[in-house]
Amino acid sequence: MNALPTCPQCHSEFTYEDGGVYICPECAHEWKAQAGDAAEAAAKVYRDSAGNTLQDGDTVTVIKDLKLKGSGGVIKMGTKVKNIRLVDSDHDIDCKIDGFGAMSLKSEFVRKA
């Protein structure tokens, strides 16, 4: 059993959870479950430039030339990237690109293939 928080308004101990929201049956107060709860983490949705939902293992196409820091290389528009892995970071996608190796991309620069 998970311990549920007491109601922040009336301190009732009879709160219950419903779809990521805590509800107090005594004063009818509702509030969101804490960030970091499993329900919240699972709700994170990754979308490509066209608004399609991305998932681990998807193949995407790069929609614009992406200059690489340091090496001077460019990932050309239209490059296919297979088997992406979604990450929660300043970029969204970890992947490997033929000829470039391990790479980080932003979902706004790709489209689901």
* Binding site residues, Zn ion, CB under 5 A: 7, 9-10, 12, 24, 26-27, 29
Question: Which of 9, 53 has the CB closer to Zn ion?
Answer: 9
Give the helix/strand (H/E) hosting 17.
strand 16-18
Question: Which of 7, 95 has the CB closer to Zn ion?
Answer: 7
Q: How far is the CB of 36 from Zn ion (least distance, A)?
A: 23
C-beta neighbour count of 63 within 10 angstroms: 16
Q: How far is the CB of 17 from Zn ion (least distance, A)?
A: 14
**Cα 61 from chain centroid?**
19
Instruction: For residue 107, give the DSSP letter.
Output: G
**Cα 19 from chain centroid?**
18
Q: How far is the CB of 33 from Zn ion (least distance, A)?
A: 16
Q: How far is the CB of 34 from Zn ion (least distance, A)?
A: 17
Contacts of 39 (CB under 8 A, 6+ apart): 19, 20, 33
